[in-house]
Amino acid sequence: MPVSFPPAIRDVLSAAGVQMNGSDPWDPQVRDDRFYARVLADGTLGFGESYMDGWWDCDRLDELVARLLRTDVRRALRPSAALAVDWLLAALTNRQNKRRAFRVGEAHYDLGNDLYRAMLDARMTYTCAYWRPLQNGDLSAHGDMTLDEAQEAKLDLVCRKIGLKEGQRVLDIGCGWGSFAIFAAQRYGAHVVGVTVSREQKALADERAAGLPVEIRLQDYRELRETFDHVVSLGMIEHVGYKNYGTYMAVVRRCLKPGGLFLLHTIGGNRSVRSTDPWIEKYIFPNSMIPSAVQLAHAAEGRFVLEDWHNFGVDYDRTLMAWDANFERAWPALKEHYGERFFRMWRFYLLSCAGSFRARQNNLWQIVLSPDGVPGGYAPVR
């Protein structure tokens, strides 16, 4: 008798238009029959690990994940032991406290600057690009944008949303390799302080920002106690944790001058959670979680006036697919350093995340907040 999933899961797969060992490019091709038991026992963790181990393949992994998430296949799986432990730890401990603040830097962002140079755009911007024309509103140009152009469009969008002026001082919480800081200094004449928990990011950002009014610090955000004209944070609050959202907002509030603006750029979830997917937790972003609108609004309440909330999550699908294409092209030069299992892990990360945005399970929000409200109102910028 052939090995397969139980009827309840087969029904969900059928509803998603997915057939095990089928002929469509998004159909999984099982190479090892132990795959079925592993997924039933370990859920998404087993799904990802079995792919890393070569137990199954799929020509269009991104589309497979999008289809599975649209039908919420996870409801058909019992919570795994790993997920139960993760939920318990998230409830009982503060997994993003100061003592653990540098863990994600060491585990993910310090993997190797050669990897990120090859995968990202020329400015090394590791957040969602903005696949829109910069100023003229001609949407016919949308399909012709390169990743470099789309990332510059995003950085410029951030500067325009906060009304950045020459000589202003900006705090960049989670500055990465300095893409925003360098762009804001070069294009707008800003003075930027960026903080990161990655030693590799700081080393390369210092090199790239040489001669510009940019200071990069290896520092936890909770230690910040000086004031700035504006604050931006691009793709960092995903590492803050639900128990620290209030602290995070309080830090931004004390660092922001009266009349300044805070732009928060973050992945956002449709549901409030207290932990992340166990595969992502184990292999990609330890101690991470995606905030919900409710969680962010609650943390901002009493501290900020909400001026604008912009969702362009569909652009993250395209960004991730561009990163995957770059990664695959560069792999021959990287494989000796990273190995085949890393290749499968990294592709699973990029493509499964692309699928999550395509399924609209994840969003990308840019939120503009002010301390006391913009006099006369804030004019949304797109």
- Please pick, among 58, 175, 255, 353, the residue that the annotation labels catalytic: 353
3-state helix, strand, coil split of the chain in percent (to 5) is 50, 15, 35
Cβ within 8 Å of residue 152, ≥6 positions away: 123, 134, 183
Nearest to 213 by CA among 187, 181, 180: 181
Contacts of 320 (CB under 8 A, 6+ apart): 62, 350, 351, 353, 354, 357
Element (H, E) at 275: none
Record the tokens describing residue 295, joined without a space: 């969680």
Residue 227 dihedral angles phi and psi, to the nearest 5°: -110, 155
Q: How far is CA 81 from CA 77, 163, 241, 348, in A?
A: 12, 49, 22, 22
- Phi, psi values for residue 57, rounded to 5°: -135, 170
Tracing tokens 């997915």 back to the chain, one arrives at 18
CA dihedral angle for residue 364, residue 47, residue 71, residue 351, rounded to 10 degrees = 40
Q: Is 353 a residue of the active site?
A: yes
Burial 146-174 (b: 16+ CB within 10 A, else e): ebebbbbbbbbbbbebbbbeeebbbbbbb
Encoded tokens for 43: 């859920």
User: For residue 138, how many other CB atoms are within 10 A of its CB?
Assistant: 9
Residues labelled as active-site residues: 353
